[in-house]
Amino acid sequence: MPSENPNWTEVRAELEARHVELTGRLGRVEEELHSAHSQDFADQATEREQDEVLEGEEAVFEQELAQIEAAIARIDNGTYGECAKCGGEIRPERLAVQPEAPLCITCAS
């Protein structure tokens, strides 16, 4: 069981701020993906390449958002800092670098 950490409120606020930022970025990516494409064939080819990049960004943002939401849920239910696999403590140093980490470094390796 992880030790109580008085900074979880701060961590939660940081995660929420990152969530807001990513949600905004995701919205802009989705807007761009749904925007009208050019009638020119050459321009369409370039736009399709750009769409592929945007779709990759979209997937990354969605995955990070899901990880952040899961971390916030762990804070709320009291399991934040506890490895989801082995139940051991996730070291504070790891959480400082990757606050959404669900696994201790041993289980993540």
Domain ranges, residue 86: 8-108
CB 50 within 8 A of CB 37: no
Q: pLDDT averaged over the chain?
A: 86
**Structural domains counted in the chain:** 1
Q: Has residue 2 been placed in a domain? A: no
Percent share of the chain, pLDDT over 70: 81
Instruction: Give CA separation, 40 vs 45, 46, 109, in Å.
Output: 9, 10, 49
pLDDT at 27 over 70: yes
Encode pLDDT of 42-59 as tens digits. 666 666 777 677 888 889
The answer, as to whether pTM is greater than 0.85, is no
pLDDT band at 106 (very low <50, low <70, confident <90, very high): very high
Q: What is the dihedral of CA 10, 11, 15, 21, to 10 degrees?
A: 50
Q: How far apart are CA 104 and CA 88, in angstroms?
A: 7
Instruction: Tell me the average pLDDT across 10-15.
Output: 94
Domain containing residue 45: CATH number: 1.20.120.910
